[in-house]
A and B are shown apart, each in its own frame.
Chain A
């Protein structure tokens, strides 16, 4: 299958750390392959596919696994270790779409007024100002900077509307990290990530995770805010046709606001990260 070998080189989230108990077994799927997570006596967990152990690590509050003996290193989020941040794993949302469509939607701001109306955006504030995007060859990431958007309620901790600044990183084909204005702590940035577990090419589990400076809201409130946002996104993601992400520019017409998406698609194609993508026009 196109892109499967390349996809096997990456790490993927399959559970929230500490969510399994002793002896518990959890069956799930990764890249179309059945895998099992085993909770263990000494709280170590193991993951098997067809009886064989897979590499496992726990990072960013999630359990990660890979099919490769020699995987690409897990990306770095230095902010995750900063003192004072609240780390919030938000649970899982199952979405019937390509894992790549889920990441691309996360990189998109133009939909805020229409999909997250009165929360992350509102008409008539629909304009997307020019911003910078680059594919950083040295770290092999897509990076968008100087992204600005007017938001009526940017975060659980935001009161009135503000212009929010964003930086986006695509750190792996199925991992996106965003840094945004942090209302209670000017000068700092909230970190919100989307870790995507590809169940197969057209279905994924999305594990949002946040590292915030938010001292006022309860963990439950922050999680439900993020889940509400993501459920709104799901209503879009499950209605995009085709379900896989088209990489042929003839298939879908972008505009200037889509520069991040254009770079993301180009970067995927160039790197052969085409699991979940359509490489030819249909």
Chain B
């Protein structure tokens, strides 16, 4: 099973929870008040509510539906309907391994995350959301060029895995990685990571470039949906 990037570290401040997807699996990623990050199957063991809709209370994540609280050890700590009850230790969330490295949160559904070596040389730049499908974003990316500080033009090569796109310069050196996080059929978030060759101006260019990609992607609406 591959390791997937699910978001940038700085998109998940303390006491926050966010949804993510790894392959076909819906997960919830959250950070406790003291900074511990957990990644769980996005389904409350009680009645199946998406845990990403819950809220963090100190070192626990509380489900939105009935307020059951789960700690960083994945175990249920508190059931509000029965305040005096010590919840059985068998009630626990389905947890996955999550690692925070190079400013990115990585999740593996089975075992230790294997972080692709190339990411050791990359740093997070920014995230951007698109109100359109993955395909629209990819085709807009293919039509939009980005110029490096040294004047070379980057092109998007094939997807490395189902959600990582690498932009190489002609020497095949990864200069920029785009990590896709699909939240629904009509909504995609991309996280951009760049190597250290970019100047401040270069990073600003990356930022403008992805906004241009977004403008192009979001107008790629099929004719039957276009509002004339």
Contacts and interface: CB of A to CB of B under 8 A. Distances in A.
Interface in B63-83: 64-67, 79-83
A239 B81 contact: no
A241 B48 contact: yes
B26 interface: yes
A111 interface: yes
A44 interface: no
B46 A236 contact: no
Contact of A252 (B47, B53, B80): B47
B43 interface: yes
Interface residues of B, number: 21
Interface string B25-60: 010000000000000001101111110010000000
Interface stretch (A29-37, A190-198, A254-262): A254-262
Interface string A225-238: 00000000001100
B65 A115 contact: yes
Given A236-B65, A241-B48, A257 B43 contact: no
B86 to A, nearest CB: 12
Interface residues of A, number: 26
A242 B80 contact: no
A62 B47 CA distance: 31
Interface in A211-267: 235-236, 239-242, 246, 251-258, 261
Contact of B80 (A108, A115, A123, A241): A123
A40 interface: no
Nearest to B54: A114
Contacts of A54: none
Contacts of B43: 241
Contacts of A27: none
A255 B82 CA distance: 9
Contacts of A110: 66, 80-81
Interface in A75-103: none
Report which residue of A115, A127, A246, A255 has the largest number of chain B beta carbons within 10 angstroms of its beta carbon. Answer: A255
B142 interface: no
A127 B49 contact: no
Interface string A25-64: 0000000000000000000000000000000000000000
Given A128-B82, A242-B48, A253 B91 contact: yes
Contacts of A254: 46
A126 B85 CA distance: 13
B45 A127 contact: no
A113 interface: yes
A255 B79 contact: yes
B81 A252 contact: no
A75 B221 CA distance: 49
Interface string A109-146: 01101110000000100111000000000000000000
Contacts of A251: 48
Contacts of B67: 113-114, 123, 126
Nearest to A112: B66
Given A114-B67, A115-B64, A253-B91, A239 B82 contact: no
Nearest to A254: B46
B45 A253 contact: yes
A240 B80 contact: no
A239 B83 CA distance: 25
Contacts of B83: 126-127
B65 A126 contact: no
Nearest to A104: B47
B226 to A, nearest CB: 26
A240 B81 contact: no
A126 B48 contact: no
24 contacts: A108-B66, A110-B81, A114-B64, A114-B65, A114-B66, A115-B64, A126-B67, A126-B83, A127-B82, A236-B49, A236-B64, A239-B50, A240-B48, A240-B65, A241-B48, A241-B50, A252-B47, A254-B46, A255-B46, A255-B79, A255-B82, A256-B81, A256-B82, A258-B47
Given A110-B81, A235-B53, 19 more contacts: A110-B80, A123-B67, A126-B67, A126-B83, A127-B81, A127-B82, A236-B49, A239-B49, A240-B49, A241-B42, A252-B46, A253-B45, A255-B79, A255-B81, A255-B82, A255-B85, A256-B81, A257-B66, A261-B47
Interface of B: 26, 42-43, 45-50, 53, 64-67, 79-83, 85, 91
Interface of A: 108, 110-111, 113-115, 123, 126-128, 235-236, 239-242, 246, 251-258, 261
